[in-house]
Amino acid sequence: MEKFIIAHMYPALMNLYGDRGNLVCLKKRMEWYGLNCEIKSIHLDEKLDFSQIDMIFMGGGSDREQGLVYHDLLKKTDQLMAQIESGLPALCICGAYQLLGSYYKSHEGTVMDGLGFFPLYTEGREGRLIGNILIESEFNGQKVSVVGFENHGGRTYFSDPKLQSLGQVIIGHGNNGEDQSEGMRFKNLIGTYLHGPLLPKNPTLADFFVYAMADRKGLKLEKVLDDTIENLAHEQVRYKMISGQKS
């Protein structure tokens, strides 16, 4: 059986808001598809050959943790970006998403450099953008709703309008609470502020990563999973938000 390895980047530092549940979801869905999946934890100063893994996942962390992770990732940027360009699947949540840009400027004015992978930047403001969020996204030519929970003080903006967002905000705040964009998307990489965790309530998004990993190994998944429970959880969150907006 083909083995897949998902690298969990800095689990001791970037671990806010239950985001590890995304890995539990991915591993279980891959097992249901008949695939062998290993979650490999990667820590500070640990070497990693990105060409030997099938996906990377990194959650959110505080400013201090982001600084530590930035300096460690800086040693790996060339190899990492080369693999992202070649289609390596990646899910980066909140602080990990912010690190992909050129910089993060705190509300107090402190500037922390980002990895500069994509033309975006983040600025901290007074007050946090908190609450359930509903966005509309598109996968395989089909528009789908994506639900989650956001809790961030930073406002992220795109320097290049050609950069693709994950989706359009229907209810909630998104990247900055101003332009109705949420997250970013590049090939098989997704950066987002959606916590929760995100994937258990959004099986279409979870399978985006599963299929991307399988495709890179030349595997075609024939099995269709029964997502009745997952879709029910999704619809309950979606219905609650829409009903709350109407009341």
Number of H-type helices and E-type strands within the chain: 6, 12
Q: Which residue has the tokens 């990646």?
A: 90
Question: Residue 33 has which token pair?
Answer: 């598809």
152 is catalytic: no
**Does residue 27 contact residue 108 with C-beta atoms inside 8 Å?**
no
Q: Which of 8, 173, 195, 234 is catalytic?
A: 195
Question: Residue 101 has which token pair?
Answer: 């840009």
Q: Which residue has the tokens 């001791």?
A: 12
**Residue 239, number of CB atoms within 10 A of its CB:** 11
Q: Which residue has the tokens 């639900």?
A: 147
**Does residue 83 contact residue 50 with C-beta atoms inside 8 Å?**
yes
94 is catalytic: yes
206 burial (CB, 10 Å; 0-12 / 13-18 / 19+) is: buried
Q: Which of 25, 94, 152, 173 is catalytic?
A: 94
Question: Cα separation of 15 and 237, whole Å?
Answer: 23
Catalytic site residues?
94, 195
